[in-house]
Amino acid sequence: MSPRADDIPIIDLGSCLAGQPEAIERAARELRAALTEVGFYFIVNHGVAPDLIRNTFHQAARFHALPPDRKMEVRIDKHNVGYLPMRGDTLRTSTVQAVTKPNLNEAFFVARDLPADHPDVVADRRFRSANRWPSDLPGFREAVVAYCDTMERLVRRLVPLYARALGLPPTYFDAPFAEPQYKLRMTHYPNQPALADDEFGIAPHTDTSFLTLLAPNEVSGLSIRSRDGHWIEAPVLPDAYLVNGGQMLQRWTNDVCLATPHRAVNRSGGERYALAFFCDNTIDWPIAAVPTTVGPDRPPKYPTTSYTDYMVEYQKRTYDLLNADAKAAD
């Protein structure tokens, strides 16, 4: 049995990142179990410097401490970058339960920091925009970009394990993840002392991602719905990233891997911040079930899609604010 924190497996990346073949195969076996039975796992010895993580949490707090009008200057746009105000989204897409109340959080979203003269930025290509950085917040952009670069490197080291976990050659995901699409969500959850019935910091949902990297959080509040339907509080495990699969992973694996519902409520008595790095394949890569997850008895459950098509539809259903903007533009 591999180690677990409550019901969530812990995968030690130390020796696999050092390239030991047996360690890679063992981690791949543990990863398969995690992805198919739980949908969440912790990673330890991931190589991300604690100072970098601490500083990125600090940057999240710095951003959210800005006056509201400063934050509204970088209000979220159709590319899903920028500031999402408190109660700015309702997770209507949730298959977990009917969600009617908007989320009690505010968030700042960052994507790959494309230069203003990048052809996709110039063309205003959906989800390939320049980021919306706040003015007069020295060092913020550099720190956040450094964090995203580190997360991207970690994903590059994880995808060979995903390939092995799925019985594929280790290089299988290298090309689809050559330039991954990603979003860093820097979320602020105010303390919620009295919990209204269906009001959450973030309501029960599954992520859209292939994988999400949740930075080690000292403040608890996240719960995960187990397959038998009860909610498990995610333990606070110092220095461990918590990783989960989302809807894109289900599509890539024909539902062999789980997208496990989760939710967060901050009852810590203080502020809670979260750093969620949602990562997907290169924007144009066709998203279809990998060969080891289909067969005569297991036909593909989903039509082939693309990041853009999928996210356009998802956003329409999720973001109140964008919908209001779109209506105003009609």
Ligand X SMILES: O=C(O)CCC(=O)C(=O)O
The residue ranges that bind Fe ion (CB under 5 A) are: 207
Contacted entry of Fe ion, ligand X, none for residue 264, CB cut-off 5 to 8 Å set by kind: ligand X
**Please, what is the minimum distance in Å from the beta carbon of residue 207 to ligand X?**
5
User: Largest alpha-carbon pair distance within the chain?
Assistant: 59
User: What is the C-alpha to C-alpha distance for residues 234 and 197, in angstroms, rounded to an integer?
Assistant: 21
What are φ and ψ of residue 298, in 5° steps? -140, 75
Q: Which one among 111, 186, 274, 322 touches ligand X, defined by CB under 6 A?
A: 274
| 264 near ligand X, rule: CB under 6 A | yes
User: What is the C-alpha to C-alpha distance for residues 43 and 45, in angstroms, rounded to an integer?
Assistant: 7
Compute the Cα dihedral for 160, 14, 183, 141 and give only its sign: negative
Residue placing its CB nearer to Fe ion in the complex, 213 or 290: 213
Q: Enumerate residues 6+ apart whose C-beta is below 8 A from 229.
A: none
Q: Residues 66, 55: contact at Cβ < 8 Å? A: no
| 275 near ligand X, rule: CB under 6 A | no
**Please, what is the minimum distance in Å from the beta carbon of residue 201 to ligand X?**
7
Residue placing its CB nearer to ligand X in the complex, 200 or 307: 200
User: What is the C-alpha to C-alpha distance for residues 308 and 230, in angstroms, rounded to an integer?
Assistant: 33
**Residue with the closest Cβ to ligand X?**
274
**Please, what is the minimum distance in Å from the beta carbon of residue 246 to Fe ion?**
8
Residue placing its CB nearer to Fe ion in the complex, 207 or 280: 207
Q: Which one among 27, 28, 53, 214 touches ligand X, defined by CB under 6 A?
A: 214
Residue placing its CB nearer to Fe ion in the complex, 106 or 207: 207
| 276 near ligand X, rule: CB under 6 A | yes
Whole-number Cα distances in Å, 42 to 8, 10, 155, 242, 324: 7, 5, 14, 4, 38
| Span of 8-16, 167-175, 214-222, 281-289 interacting with ligand X by CB under 6 A | 214-222
| 16 near ligand X, rule: CB under 6 A | no
Residue placing its CB nearer to Fe ion in the complex, 140 or 277: 277
Please give the size of the binding site for ligand X, defined by CB under 6 A.
Answer: 11
**Please, what is the minimum distance in Å from the beta carbon of residue 330 to Fe ion?**
31
Give 189's strand partners. 272
Q: Residues 186, 148: contact at Cβ < 8 Å? A: no
**Please, what is the minimum distance in Å from the beta carbon of residue 238 to ligand X?**
15
Q: Which one among 32, 185, 225, 251 touches ligand X, defined by CB under 6 A?
A: 185
| 265 near ligand X, rule: CB under 6 A | no
Residue placing its CB nearer to ligand X in the complex, 99 or 264: 264
User: What is the C-alpha to C-alpha distance for residues 258 and 38, in angstroms, rounded to an integer?
Assistant: 7
The conformation of residue 178, written as its DSSP 8-state character, comes to S
Residue 325: count other Cβ atoms within 10 Å of its Cβ: 14
**Please, what is the minimum distance in Å from the beta carbon of residue 214 to Fe ion?**
8
Q: Enumerate residues 6+ apart whose C-beta is below 8 A from 145.
A: 110, 113
**Please, what is the minimum distance in Å from the beta carbon of residue 233 to ligand X?**
11
**Residue with the closest Cβ to Fe ion?**
207
| 202 near ligand X, rule: CB under 6 A | yes
| 151 near ligand X, rule: CB under 6 A | no
Side by side, the strands of the sheet bearing 211-214 are 4-5, 8-12, 40-44, 241-244, 211-214, 272-280, 181-189, 106-111, 82-84
The total number of residues shown for the chain amounts to 330
Residues that bind ligand X (CB under 6 A): 185, 187, 202, 207, 214, 217, 222, 262, 264, 274, 276
